Amino acid sequence: MTTTTAPDAPAAATAPVLAFVESPVQLLNVLEWAHRTAHPAPPRPHALRPLCDGVPRQPAQRDLTPLAGDLLVVVLAPRDPMTRGQLRRMAELARDLGHRVRWEEARGGPGAPLATVRGLAGPLRAAARLVVGDPFSRYVQLLLALVRTRDVVVVDDGTATLEYAAQLARGERLVRWHRSGGGRGARELAFAPFAAAARRKLGPGRHRRVELFTAMPVQPPPGVTVTANDFAWTRSTYGPPRLTRGTDLVGTSLVETGVVDAGRYLAAVAALARTHGATRYFAHRREDTDKLRRISTGLGLEVVRPELPLELVARRGPIGRTVLSFPSTVVHTLPLALAGTGVSVAVCDIDPAWLTEHASPRAHGFLSGVTAAARAAHRMPRPSVPAPRTGEATP
């Protein structure tokens, strides 16, 4: 049975904490936030149960229990198989730490969204603190219409956190950076009232507290409390890793999101592998299978599809002494997760010529900002990307 408290009662003392996640990285950062908030003793790696392949089994009674520093994680399951697999394993980790996990097939069919909203109406109204993994998610923005709490925490959803903080500071509507600059279609206009309401609830106000828990070097928006995520739970639970003599490359989904041309990207990967002696390519969970096949068969790299977020995979090892990445979340998170291990993380520039004609006008500026911020924060080296050899554009 759910118990509510008076509106002015301390939220964390007597009422539940509800978290919404749609990706493995969001769930990892919710666990890091919970670790930082509760200050528990460092967990012992051998105390964790083996990871399971199945969807976490849910208890028959699904009502929220009054929490005292604990939380319920609601997974709004995506369709992508790789993302689902990583989320299942992260959900098991969350359960091993004593947190409740509620798996919602939010995109399971035509009636799934409405069923999900109805099923979550009670928990949303009862929650005294809300933790959000993706403030740009339309699903989350829709659910925010049912939220009564005025205590909101936003955890990292990758480099999009930088844009969220910037848009919040400028008072703009929340739009993903690679989609900005385009027109607003009928669906966008129909959703506009929900987006506007979400923008208000995800921003600070006279009686609204907003915390941003992030590993990104953000400029704190006015009225927002920024708490640094140093991956303390990850570092205390795993590693240090065994280091290999080689160099590892980290892939991105910039091609899949329509920002970078596929041929240019593959040519850059080939040039980096040749110049820096890379032998492994850690694939992003959203990378296209055909592109990965070309990287494996055409470029001769071992393609690794991690079953957990790369921060955990790298910390567990083995990992190369040098890790190269294009502008992405990991250029900010890996240096923190691998602090003190001797691993060098470097970020490569995105040449403007690589961008597609459909890329947002702001794309290059945003990616350059991610690169510059990572180099400034972590004193990263600048690896060279030589011109591709003949034929490397389409391996």
- Asked if pLDDT for residue 366 goes beyond 60, the answer is yes
- Asked if pLDDT for residue 161 goes beyond 70, the answer is yes
Which whole number is the average pLDDT over 234-257? 94
CB 219 within 8 A of CB 165: yes
Q: Could you give the CA distance from residue 78 to residue 68 in angstroms, rounded to a whole number?
A: 30
- pLDDT at position 217 is 87
Which whole number is the average pLDDT over 45-57? 42
Which whole number is the average pLDDT over 235-240? 93
The residue that leads in pLDDT, 225 or 379, is: 225
Please state the pTM of the whole predicted model. Answer: 0.82
The residue that leads in pLDDT, 62 or 46, is: 46
Tokens at 180, concatenated? 């900005």
Q: What is the 3-state secondary structure (H, E, C) of the chain?
A: CCCCCCCCCCHHHHCCEEEEECCHHHHHHHHHHHHHHHCCCCCCHHHCCCCCCCCCCCCCCCCCCCCCCCCEEEEECCCCHHHHHHHHHHHHHHHHCCCEEEEECCCCCCCHHHHHHHHHHHHHHHCCEEEECCCCCHHHHHHHHHCCCCEEEEECECEHHHHHHHHHHHCCCCCCHHHCCCCCCHHHHHHHHHHHHHHHHCCCECCEEEEEEECCCCCCCCCEEEEECCCHHHHHHCCCCCEEEEEEEECCCCCCCCCECHHHHHHHHHHHHHHHCEEEEECCCCCCHHHHHHHHHHCCCEEECCCCCHHHHHHHCCEEEEEEECCCCHHHHHHHHCCCCCCEEEECCCCHHHECCCCCCCHHHHHHHHHHHHHHHHCCCCCCCCCCCCCCCCC
- pLDDT at position 288 is 94
- Asked if pLDDT for residue 155 goes beyond 60, the answer is yes
- Asked if pLDDT for residue 5 goes beyond 50, the answer is no
Which whole number is the average pLDDT over 72-82? 92
Please state, rounded to an integer, the average pLDDT across all residues of the chain.
82
Which whole number is the average pLDDT over 282-289? 94
- Asked if pLDDT for residue 64 goes beyond 70, the answer is no
- Asked if pLDDT for residue 187 goes beyond 50, the answer is yes
Q: Nearest-CA neighbor of 367 among 172, 158, 222?
A: 158
- pLDDT at position 227 is 93
Comparing 114-128, 250-264, 299-313, the range with the smallest average pLDDT is 114-128
- pLDDT at position 77 is 93
pLDDT tens digits along 384-393: 666 655 454 4
- Asked if pLDDT for residue 266 goes beyond 60, the answer is yes
- Asked if pLDDT for residue 157 goes beyond 60, the answer is yes
Q: Nearest-CA neighbor of 265 among 283, 279, 243, 285?
A: 283
Which whole number is the average pLDDT over 227-246? 94
* 188 — pLDDT class (breaks 50, 70, 90): low
- Asked if pLDDT for residue 10 goes beyond 60, the answer is no
* 146 — pLDDT class (breaks 50, 70, 90): confident
Angle between helices 24-38 and 81-96 (to 10 degrees): 20
Q: Could you give the CA distance from residue 334 to residue 322 in angstroms, rounded to a whole number?
A: 11
Which whole number is the average pLDDT over 94-98? 91
